[in-house]
Amino acid sequence: MEFINPARLSLTVALLGLALGAVFGAVGRRTHFCALGAVSDIVAMGDWNRMRMWLLAIAVAMLGANGLELAGVVDLFKSIYRNPSLPWLSHIVGGGMFGAGMVLGSGCGSKSLIRAGAGNLKSWVVLAFLAISAYATLKGWPAVWRAAYLDPLALPLAAHGIAGQDVPSLLAHFTGVERFGLQAGVSLAIAGGLLFLVLHRRKFRSFGVLLGGTTVGLLVAAGWWVTGYWGYGENPETLEMVFFGTNSRGPESLTLVAPVAYTLEWWMLGSDKSLHLTFGIGVTLGIVLGSFCDAMASRSFRWEGFASPADTARHIIGGILMGVGGVLALGCTIGQGITGLSTLALGSFIAFFAIVAGAVATLKIEYWKISRAA
């Protein structure tokens, strides 16, 4: 058996994350991929184009992730998404908070990183408060409150003999049908339905929608391959099979709340030899780098600051809500809204709809305030 150098393999996984993030940043900026934009376009104008881009990304990621698992390449049961304990209230509360926060912060985590790379100083402030609040919710006093009041309110699926919270496992338990076939059928049915919604009319098949949605979906599938296959090996010190280069110690793909927090930790405490570059940190830095390169190449890089103290406060609150909400919901519009959904986890569907509902409600309140001031 070939000897594995843990430090080198972890660094390789992180650098591959950097590369995937750079592609995401460049393509996301060029195609205007934005979850908030997808929701706000519908609420304000009835325009579904950017939502179709998001749905296309979900479909492609779902096909890629389940294809890899059915082929035996990765094991998504080792990820955080299929835990046989379903924290339904955390998904609802956290998702709603994140949805409201991305409206106040003028974009979700991925859009903030893309804008930061293109010179938007407001996004740097949002990301700073997102990182601090997320880290506190992971490891600080808010984590104590989370563990005491939200985490216990979960459905103990394992106690009922259910292997995971993914839809195929739930259906297999209640129907007695073999799970392998259900996974193939469910993933094809959901992804096929989404592809039909996106592609069934010619006018919806714009190059930007196809490029943005397909690329982001493929990047999520590639992330599962990098961490779940390439980064999986035997630790020469413990002789255990482990996932190298991930913060969760399991397979990961694109997600941007906890990784932004870990990026801040690595930047501040990087001299601590127990801290290393990880896949999530690589993706985070890569998105900023990719956006910066695209902005410079297109000569559209420009500095942008706050318009007023009220604008500053609004964005700070948005960053805090996204940081706390993203940790409670176990992900963001990318982490749950694409990566989590690619695993067919029920919690990801709950978080996705909670994020959208939180964003819609906050947008309607914002538009109401504007109409009253007019």
Radius of gyration of the chain from its Cα atoms, rounded to whole angstroms:
20
Report the DSSP pairing between strands 241-243 and 85-86: unpaired
Report the DSSP pairing between strands 232-234 and 241-243: antiparallel
Q: Give the global pTM.
A: 0.94
Q: Which parts of the chain fold into alpha helices (H)?
A: 6-31, 35-45, 49-70, 88-104, 109-117, 121-139, 141-145, 167-175, 179-199, 207-225, 258-269, 279-297, 309-328, 341-342, 346-373
Assign 1 a pLDDT band (cuts: 50, 70, 90): very low
Find the farthest-apart pair of alpha carbons in the chain and give their distance in angstroms, rounded. Answer: 71
Q: Which domain holds residue 266?
A: 6-75+84-373
Share of the chain above pLDDT 70, in %: 98
Give the Cβ contact number of residue 147 at 10 Å: 10
Q: Which residue reads 């998001």 in tokens?
A: 54
- 288 lies in some domain: yes
Condensed to tens digits (0 to 9), the pLDDT of residues 285-294 reads: 999 999 999 9
Looking at residue 162, what DSSP letter applies? Answer: -
- 181 lies in some domain: yes
User: How much is the average pLDDT of 192-206?
Assistant: 85
The residue type of 356 is V
pLDDT of amino acid 68: 98
CB-based contacts of 90: which residues, under 8 Å, 6+ apart?
A: 146, 150, 151, 153, 154, 328, 329, 330
pLDDT of 374 > 90? The answer is no
Instruction: Determine phi and psi for 85, rounding to 5 degrees.
Output: -120, 120
- 120 lies in some domain: yes
- Rounded-to-integer distance, Cα 359 and Cα 352, Å: 11
Share of the chain above pLDDT 90, in %: 85
Condensed to tens digits (0 to 9), the pLDDT of residues 58-102 reads: 999 999 999 999 999 999 999 999 999 999 999 999 999 999 999
Query: How far, in Å, are 91, 163, 268 from residue 257 at the CA level?
Result: 14, 27, 17
**Number of domains within the chain:** 1
User: How much is the average pLDDT of 250-255?
Assistant: 96
User: How much is the average pLDDT of 115-139?
Assistant: 97
- 277 lies in some domain: yes
pLDDT of amino acid 270: 81
Query: How far, in Å, are 185, 282, 319, 371 from residue 17 at the CA level?
Result: 30, 5, 24, 44
Query: How far, in Å, are 43, 45, 96, 134, 164 from residue 171 at the CA level?
Result: 34, 38, 27, 34, 11
User: How much is the average pLDDT of 148-170?
Assistant: 92
Comparing 271 with 223, the larger pLDDT belongs to 223
pLDDT of amino acid 3: 63
Burial degree of 284 (CB within 10 A; 0-12, 13-18, 19+): buried
- 1 lies in some domain: no
Q: Which residue reads 């009319």 in tokens?
A: 201
pLDDT of 308 > 50? The answer is yes
Q: How many residues does the chain have?
A: 374
